[in-house]
Amino acid sequence: MLEHANDELKADRKIVLKTVQRNGDALRYASDELKGDREIVLEAVQENGYALEYASDELKADREIVLKAVQQDGHALQYASDELKADKKMVY
């Protein structure tokens, strides 16, 4: 649904949060500001680890968020920061 929403709705924190809780991949359609919102990204990656691809660069370097994404789907590691890709704890 978020894909076809107007920019105002894509920037509405409450709507985006509810949407990513049901479909983490919807993060791709959120405003850039909300792609940097820690709570929204955390909810998205817990539902779909691949949502990490759409998170801000800052959050791709956030250990907790990346760990949740990788726990949901190990292939999500490909979207983590280079630093976390080299972290043994993240890989194991």
Average pLDDT over residues 14-37: 98
Q: If you ran DSSP here, which 8-state letter would residue 86 be given?
A: T
Banded pLDDT at 25 (limits 50, 70, 90): very high
Q: What confidence tens digit (pLDDT) does each residue in 26-78 have?
A: 999 999 999 999 999 999 999 999 999 999 999 999 999 999 999 999 999 99
Q: How far apart are CA 59 and CA 23, in angstroms?
A: 19
Domains of the chain, by residue range, sit at: 2-91
- The closest alpha carbon to 60, from 86, 85, 79, 42, belongs to 79
pTM, full prediction: 0.94
Residue 37 phi, psi (nearest 5): -85, 115
Give the residue ranges of DSSP H helices in the chain: 7-10, 13-22, 38-47, 57-60, 63-72, 82-85, 88-91
At 69, list the tokens.
């994404």
pLDDT at 72: 95
